[in-house]
Structure 1
Amino acid sequence: MHQILFYIGDYPIRSFGLMLSLGILAGLLVSYCVAKAQGRYQEEVTDLAFYAILGGLLGARIWEVMFSWDYYGSHLLEIPAIWNGGISVQGSVVGGLLAVIWYCRKYKIAVWPMLDTLAPGVLVGQAIGRIGCFLNGCCYGIPHQHLGVVYPAGTDAYHAFGSQPLFPAVLFEAAWDVLVLILLLVIYKRKPFDGFIALSYFILYSIGRFTLEFWRGDSLRTFMDLKAAQVSSVVTVCVALAFMVYLNNRERRSAKKSTDKVNIKTDI
Structure 2
Amino acid sequence: MKNSFKKYESYYTYIGFSIIFMLLVLIATSGVAPYDSTAIRIEALGLEVQWYAVFILTGITFGGYLAYREFVKAGKNPDILWDGLLLCVPLAIIGARLWYVLFNLDRYNGDFLRMLNFTEGGLGIHGAVIVTFLVIIPFAKRKKISHWFIYDVVAPGFLIGQTLGRWGNFMNRELYGPVLDNADWLPPFVKDQMFINGAYRHPTFLYESVWNLIGLVIILILRRKRTFKLGDILAFYLLWYGVGRIPTEILRMQSGVDEPLMLFGIPVSIATSVLFILGGLVVYFGKRLMKVDEGYYSDYGKKVVLFDLDGTLLDTIDLIYDNIRQTFKKYFPSKTFTEDELKAFVGPTLQHSFSWYEPNPKKIEEMIEFYRKTNLANHEKGVNAYPHAKETLTALKDAGYLIGIVSSKKKEVCALGLEQNDLLQFIDVIIGSDDVTKHKPDKEPIMKALESLKAHPANAIYIGDHSMDIEAAKAAGVKSVGVSYSIHYDKVMAARPDYMIDDLEKLLYIL
- Measured against the shorter chain, the TM-score band is 0.7 to 0.9
Q: Does 1:20 align with 2:56?
A: yes
Q: Tell me the secondary structure at the aligned position of residue 23 of structure 1.
A: helix
- What is the distance in 1 between the residues matched to 2:164 and 2:105? 27
Deviation at 1:149, TM superposition (A): 4.9
Deviation at 1:207, TM superposition (A): 0.3
**Which position in structure 1 is the counterpart of 2:41?**
7
Deviation at 1:102, TM superposition (A): 2.7
Identity over aligned pairs, percent: 24
Q: Does 1:171 align with 2:209?
A: no
The code of the aligned residue for 2:201 comes to: L
Deviation at 1:223, TM superposition (A): 5.3
Spell out, residue by residue over 1:4-42, the C-alpha distance to the aligned partner (whole angstroms, 9 max, x if none).
123234322221222222222122112212333333353
- What is the distance in 1 between the residues matched to 2:114 and 2:192? 27
Alignment of structure 1 residues 75-224 onto 2, 5 Å: 76-147=112-183, 149=191, 162-189=197-224, 190-217=226-253, 218-219=258-259, 220-221=261-262
The code of the aligned residue for 1:5 comes to: A
Spell out, residue by residue over 1:21-70, the C-alpha distance to the aligned partner (whole angstroms, 9 max, x if none).
22221221122123333333533222200111022111111111111222
CA distance 1:192–1:132, change in 2 (3 Å): closer
- What is the distance in 2 between the residues matched to 1:170 and 1:242? 28
Deviation at 1:267, TM superposition (A): 11
The code of the aligned residue for 1:129 comes to: G
**Which position in structure 2 is the counterpart of 1:228?**
268
Deviation at 1:151, TM superposition (A): 5.2
Alignment of structure 1 residues 20-59 onto 2, 5 Å: 20-40=56-76, 42-59=78-95
- What is the distance in 2 between the residues matched to 1:265 and 1:254? 22
Q: Tell me the secondary structure at the aligned position of residue 180 of structure 2.
A: coil
RMSD over aligned Cα atoms: 2.8
Structure 2: any 5+ residue segments left out of the alignment? 1-34, 184-189, 296-435, 443-511
Spell out, residue by residue over 1:64-121, the C-alpha distance to the aligned partner (whole angstroms, 9 max, x if none).
1111222233665432232443111111101111222231123232111111111112
**Which position in structure 2 is the counterpart of 1:243?**
283
CA distance 1:39–1:253, change in 2 (3 Å): closer
Q: TM-score, normalised by structure 1?
A: 0.83
CA distance 1:119–1:72, change in 2 (3 Å): same
Deviation at 1:122, TM superposition (A): 1.6
- What is the distance in 2 between the residues matched to 1:69 and 1:252? 41
Spell out, residue by residue over 1:204-237, the C-alpha distance to the aligned partner (whole angstroms, 9 max, x if none).
111000121111145322657x522111111221
Greater RCO (CA < 8 Å, at least 6 residues apart): 1
Q: Which has the higher strand share?
A: 2
Structure 1: any 5+ residue segments left out of the alignment? 256-261
- What is the distance in 1 between the residues matched to 2:76 and 2:218? 22
Q: TM-score, normalised by structure 2?
A: 0.45
- Which of 235-244 and 204-213 deviates more? 235-244
- Rg bigger for which structure? 2
Deviation at 1:130, TM superposition (A): 1.4
Q: Does 1:73 align with 2:109?
A: yes
The code of the aligned residue for 2:115 comes to: I
